[in-house]
């Protein structure tokens, strides 16, 4: 599958708004640079008229490039630098040397067509929330797993099981590769875009997606979590916080924690014990 890369001239604040708007159009990955934003979308999903409807009113210009699957690894390898979340978790590619000093957990990934390298604030904030939760013996579900980072970290932290889904075939295949690279045995991943067929109950549910998907599936997510279980959400702009919290509370969640980084939010909720 080929991808379209759209490079837009935009500063940090405008990039945040564009990411939120383009996520609704099925753009799957974003690379933020000093004065530009690069957005990636499967060629089959690209709608140039819809893109222009968003960019023209804001006066944003762009260039378009088709990226063939064979070129994807070279693109990511040229841009992907190791990232570390405090001394808790380090994320690197297999062509990088190990971290020194070594963090508590070290994850090796090859991004390929999937997204979620730990560089974006949404992923690193999820990792920060995970740091303060006990995962030993817990059953974990990762909704929209991307590269599998969060599910892999959950197993490293002692989870009994870590089930993961993604609607994108490339993401599922990439997660399988990263499971092998990190020698994980308790992470199970499959392709799906809905939650209503899942009958298992979980102690912790992770969802680093976008606001609209979180709102759409809030009830389904509540139905998957045991009483006393945790829900960790990211991919939320501060302007969407009120709607996300209201939707979560209406389903029976209780808000516990909030992290804000680079104008993105991660929120933690609990399902109360009756």
pLDDT digits over 40-80, tens only?
888 999 999 999 999 999 999 999 999 876 666 666 666 67
What's residue 249's pLDDT? Answer: 98
Element of type H or E holding 243: helix 241-251
Q: What is the 3-state secondary structure (H, E, C) of 158-205?
A: CCCEEEEEECCHHHHHHHHHHHHHCCCCCEEEEECCCCCCCCCCEEEE
Q: Give the whole-angstrom CA distance, residue 161 versus residue 136.
A: 10
CATH of 116-270, one of 3.10.20.600, 3.40.50.150, 3.20.20.100, 2.40.160.40: 3.40.50.150
The answer, as to whether pTM is greater than 0.85, is no
CATH of 3-67, one of 3.30.70.2170, 3.30.390.30, 3.40.718.10, 3.90.1300.10: 3.30.70.2170
Mean pLDDT score of the chain, rounded to an integer?
A: 90
Percentage above 70 pLDDT, the chain:
92
Domain ranges for the chain, please list them.
3-67, 116-270
What's residue 235's pLDDT? Answer: 87
């Amino acid at each position: 599958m080929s991808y379209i890369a759209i490079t837009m001239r935009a500063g940090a604040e405008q990039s945040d708004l564009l990411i939120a708007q383009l996520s609704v159009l099925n753009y799957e990955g974003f690379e933020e640079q000093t004065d530009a934003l690069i957005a990636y979308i499967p060629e089959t999903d690209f709608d140039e008229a819809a893109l222009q409807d968003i960019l023209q009113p804001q006066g944003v210009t762009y260039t378009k490039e088709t990226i063939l699957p064979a070129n994807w690894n070279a693109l990511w390898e040229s841009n992907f630098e190791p990232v570390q979340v405090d001394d808790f978790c380090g994320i690197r590619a297999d062509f990088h040397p190990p971290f020194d000093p070594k963090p508590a957990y070290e994850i090796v990934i090859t991004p390929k067509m999937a997204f979620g390298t730990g560089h974006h604030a949404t992923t690193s904030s999820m990792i920060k929330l995970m740091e303060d939760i006990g995962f030993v013996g817990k059953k974990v579900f990762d909704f929209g797993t991307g590269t599998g980072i969060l599910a892999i970290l959950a197993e490293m932290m002692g989870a009994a099981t870590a089930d993961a889904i993604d609607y994108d075939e490339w993401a599922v295949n990439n997660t399988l590769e990263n499971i092998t690279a990190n020698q994980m045995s308790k992470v199970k991943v499959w392709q799906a875009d809905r939650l209503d067929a899942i009958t298992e109950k979980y102690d912790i549910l992770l969802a680093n997606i976008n606001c609209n998907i979180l709102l759409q599936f809030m009830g389904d997510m509540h139905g998957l979590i045991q009483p006393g279980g945790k829900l960790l959400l990211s991919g939320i702009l501060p302007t969407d916080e009120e709607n996300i919290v209201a939707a979560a509370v209406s389903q029976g969640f209780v808000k516990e924690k909030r992290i804000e980084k680079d104008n993105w939010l991660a929120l933690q909720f609990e399902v109360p014990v009756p």
